[in-house]
A and B are shown apart, each in its own frame.
Chain A
Amino acid sequence: AQSVTQPDIHITVSEGASLELRCNYSYGATPYLFWYVQSPGQGLQLLLKYFSGDTLVQGIKGFEAEFKRSQSSFNLMKPSVHWSDAAEYFCAVGTGTGGSYIPTFGRGTSLIVHP
């Protein structure tokens, strides 16, 4: 069975600083990988996804992620954090075909942004 580990429960950065949120997965085949963001009282919003091809994936809101098969990682990055980026971030690995895709989520990383 697949699993996702987000080793950092909380990350604190200063506004304008760079950000990297870690995600490691366990899955026997080529994974489908996702990052979601959840703001308080809101549903999860998809930031980006990786299926195949270029291992550096661009997403919305200036985020990007890099798939590293050798490290079983899919870390989320942003060069300059804005105060509005403060939220909970979830990494997920998906299995199955597009019609029966069932994601497994990590426990999340809470991003705190200092002014």
Chain B
Amino acid sequence: GAGVSQTPSNKVTEKGKYVELRCDPISGHTALYWYRQSLGQGPEFLIYFQGTGAADDSGLPNDRFFAVRPEGSVSTLKIQRTERGDSAVYLCASKLAPYEQYFGPGTRLTVT
């Protein structure tokens, strides 16, 4: 079946602009995670949804970052007033069974 998909695959934006990154989880997966992966690093947890609500957003670095999942499926990560330090690959993962996360290919964000 279809895996986790993320759009766009690449996004280049100017410093100060607003961006939205989209994640389509595997159908029926109730939990959804966002991670940020900087160059040469492992994924870093940002936020976790169980259904429509954010169960844990402790990884969001500041209030410029926000994520929603209004219908419990698709999620959007929103970044306001982007900074060059936000450049990274943003990964999404979904799961149904405990501990079995399925990752999407990521969105590479470049802030110029």
Please measure, in the bound complex, the distance between the C-alpha atom of A97 and the C-alpha atom of B55, giving whole angstroms: 13
Cβ–Cβ contact A46 & B100, under 8 A? yes
Please measure, in the bound complex, the distance between the C-alpha atom of A92 and the C-alpha atom of B37, giving whole angstroms: 14
Which A residues are CB-close (under 8 A) to B3?
43
Cβ–Cβ contact A98 & B55, under 8 A? no
Verify if A56 is at the interface (C-beta below 8 Å from B).
no
Given A43-B106, A44-B91; A101-B42 close (CB under 8 Å): no
Cβ–Cβ contact B43 & A44, under 8 A? yes
List the one stretch of A13-21, A62-70, A72-80, A102-110 in contact with chain B. Answer: A102-110
Q: Which residue on chain A has the smallest CB distance to residue B6?
A: A43
Given A42-B105, A44-B91; A102-B56 close (CB under 8 Å): yes
Given A42-B105, A43-B104, A49-B99; A105-B48 close (CB under 8 Å): no
Question: Interface extent on B, as a size class?
Answer: 20 to 34
Verify if B65 is at the interface (C-beta below 8 Å from A).
no
Which A residues are CB-close (under 8 A) to B40?
9, 107-108
Please measure, in the bound complex, the distance between the C-alpha atom of A112 and the C-alpha atom of B4, giving whole angstroms: 27
Chain B interface SS verdict (over half): loop
Q: Mark B14-33, 1 if CB is under 8 A from A, else 0.
A: 00000000000000000100
Most A-side CB within 10 Å, residue of B3, B43, B48: B43
> Which residues of chain B from 30 to 57 have a CB within 8 Å of any chain A CB?
31, 40-45, 48, 50, 55-56
Verify if B7 is at the interface (C-beta below 8 Å from A).
no
Verify if A99 is at the interface (C-beta below 8 Å from B).
yes
> Which residues of chain A from 29 to 55 have a CB within 8 Å of any chain B CB?
32, 34, 36, 41-46, 49, 51
**Nearest CB on B from A35, distance (A):** 12
Residues of A within 8 A of B (CB): 4, 9, 32, 34, 36, 41-46, 49, 51, 90, 92, 94, 97-108
